Structure 1
Amino acid sequence: MCNPWFCVGMGWLPMSVGVMVMATFTISYSISVSLGHVPAEFPYISDTGTYVPESCIFGQLLNIAAALAFATMYVRYKNVIEYNHNEDSRVLLWNKIGLVMGSLAALGMSMVANFQESNVLVMHMVGANMCFGIGILYCYVHSWISYKMMPFHASHHEYMARIICSVVGSVSFIFTSIFAAVAQSKWEGEKPTKWSPEDGGFPEHIVSTVSEWILAVSFLLYFFTYIREFQKIRMEANIRLYTEDMMPINDPEV
């Protein structure tokens, strides 16, 4: 029998985001550690996808994950519209704002994949802040939308899970940013991807990297909260054929 957690309806879509991201991190981490490009003890996620050959795998898989993430957020956007035709107009407004935020976050994820920190650091950091910073705002927006849709179109458990993921993600993002800046100010080493205790700022560096991994996990768990909701969704394609004067060919009245 098919597992209902990911086979019913479109439950597979948010699940695929998590699977693809975890595959990206696991493969790139394993290769980069085995080749000695990064230490095994909590490197930055981006450090595991900086050097060849892991950078190629990291970029390819993360681009796929970004596309799946955008698809998930678009389906969520359409689903909220379907449930709120005659409901609170603020929900529809923030649903549109959330889609814009989600699109920017997905674009940021793609930028992280394509602009390695060792090659184009500025663009890499812009992409990372779009992915994580704007992504957190997206999480809060849809947590609030879930609250407004209770109890008929969203459960209390879904709302609580989403708000917890949002809070954990925002705290982790703040810790990552602050301790990275402090560690960088104390660093006196030669290779930032192989930070050692002798380089200075090592404790702050570890706090920053651990926070980044927690931040990434909180995003994955947020997408997993969509699985039950997406099980109720079916995707259909509505195709119309037109003549040269734009008259519908397959219209029953023609």
Structure 2
Amino acid sequence: MDGKKCSVWMFLPLVFTLFTSAGLWIVYFIAVEDDKILPLNSAERKPGVKHAPYISIAGDDPPASCVFSQVMNMAAFLALVVAVLRFIQLKPKVLNPWLNISGLVALCLASFGMTLLGNFQLTNDEEIHNVGTSLTFGFGTLTCWIQAALTLKVNIKNEGRRVGIPRVILSASITLCVVLYFILMAQSIHMYAARVQWGLVMCFLSYFGTFAVEFRHYRYEIVCSEYQENFLSFSESLSEASEYQTDQV
């Protein structure tokens, strides 16, 4: 990959993936160190002995809860930025805008769910926390399928199949994890449910990292200028993603 032909915006999805992954694992290790949860590699827990290593339980008590809140708020913000940039990127390339709009709305709702997860800990307000979980996992899964379909349909730089097929596989894995997670939860098989939950979240984050492939072809600009009668409006000045030309330095 030639760095001169890659936009710096490709690093945004990668930063989101790496930052959020690292932050969640820091929360996990803090909770394990404080004896709040069992390690993921523990055998099936006995009743009344610590907690299964669910992410929400790991981030339920300070100091882990402080880190968890910060990580989820930052992740929600970065996911929202990715959602808007992805929408702008695909806007001039899709004939029917509804799928693109649906992807934007779904990811925005998933981002809102992340803020609920981070700011309303499980023991403080379980109902709101569970709403956040449902929004994040539900609309997050929907987002993955929508973006996989858009990837194959738009086929940016003839990379649609190369990127779309892994996204379909990740979307299927995420869907399977969601179903399996709730089945295990319903049967109170908590250690396995917690492991599936961690796998689910890592699949989500890996999926977001794949947007770097398409973002590397685009740049985004906001034009700020003194107001004039015949000047473009702000909405018109917000340039849509423009593709890098092969001869661009």
Instruction: Give the alignment's TM-score, normalised by structure 1.
Output: 0.81
* Structure of higher CA gyration radius: 1
Deviation at 1:218, TM superposition (A): 1.0
Deviation at 1:41, TM superposition (A): 2.4
SS in structure 2 of the partner of residue 41 of structure 1: coil
Match among 155, 165, 169 for residue 164 of structure 1? 169
Q: In structure 2, do the counterparts of structure 1 residues 151 and 237 end up closer, same or farther at CA, with 3 Å as the change threshold?
A: closer
| Cα deviations by residue, 1:91-123 (Å, 9 ceiling, x for unpaired) | x21100110101000100111000101110011
Aligned position for 1:34: 33
SS in structure 1 of the partner of residue 227 of structure 2: coil
Match among 81, 85, 99 for residue 75 of structure 1? 85
- Asked if structure 2 preserves the Cα contact closer than 8 Å seen for 1:83 and 1:153, the reply is no
Aligned position for 1:135: 140
1:228 matched to 2:213: yes
Alignment-mate amino acid for residue 194 of structure 2: T
Match among 117, 122, 126 for residue 122 of structure 2? 117
Q: Which runs of 4+ in 1 moved over 6 A?
A: none
Aligned position for 2:16: 17
1:207 matched to 2:206: no
Q: In structure 2, do the counterparts of structure 1 residues 248 and 124 end up closer, same or farther at CA, with 3 Å as the change threshold?
A: same
- Asked if structure 2 preserves the Cα contact closer than 8 Å seen for 1:45 and 1:213, the reply is yes
Alignment-mate amino acid for residue 201 of structure 2: A
Q: In structure 2, do the counterparts of structure 1 residues 157 and 249 end up closer, same or farther at CA, with 3 Å as the change threshold?
A: closer
Aligned position for 2:76: 66
1:46 matched to 2:56: yes
Alpha-carbon separation, structure 2, partners of 1:32 and 1:24: 13
Unpaired segments of 5 or more residues in structure 2? 42-52, 234-249
Alpha-carbon separation, structure 1, partners of 2:117 and 2:185: 17
Alpha-carbon separation, structure 1, partners of 2:158 and 2:105: 22
Q: In structure 2, do the counterparts of structure 1 residues 77 and 209 end up closer, same or farther at CA, with 3 Å as the change threshold?
A: same
| Cα deviations by residue, 1:117-144 (Å, 9 ceiling, x for unpaired) | 1110011111011001111001101111
Deviation at 1:146, TM superposition (A): 1.2
| Cα deviations by residue, 1:57-80 (Å, 9 ceiling, x for unpaired) | 110121001100111111111101
Matches within 5 A, 1:177-196: 177-183=182-188
| Cα deviations by residue, 1:185-207 (Å, 9 ceiling, x for unpaired) | xxxxxxxxxxxxxxxxxxx1122
Paired residues in the alignment total 220
Deviation at 1:8, TM superposition (A): 3.6
Alpha-carbon separation, structure 2, partners of 1:3 and 1:107: 36
Alpha-carbon separation, structure 1, partners of 2:144 and 2:61: 31
SS in structure 2 of the partner of residue 10 of structure 1: helix
Deviation at 1:83, TM superposition (A): 2.6
Aligned position for 1:173: 178
Alpha-carbon separation, structure 1, partners of 2:148 and 2:184: 28
SS in structure 2 of the partner of residue 171 of structure 1: helix
Aligned position for 1:196: none
SS in structure 2 of the partner of residue 175 of structure 1: helix
- Asked if structure 1 preserves the Cα contact closer than 8 Å seen for 2:153 and 2:160, the reply is no
Aligned position for 1:188: none
| Cα deviations by residue, 1:186-240 (Å, 9 ceiling, x for unpaired) | xxxxxxxxxxxxxxxxxx1122111111110111111111111101111211123
Instruction: Give the alignment's TM-score, normalised by structure 2.
Output: 0.82
Alpha-carbon separation, structure 1, partners of 2:2 and 2:176: 34
Identity %: 29
Q: In structure 2, do the counterparts of structure 1 residues 36 and 97 end up closer, same or farther at CA, with 3 Å as the change threshold?
A: same
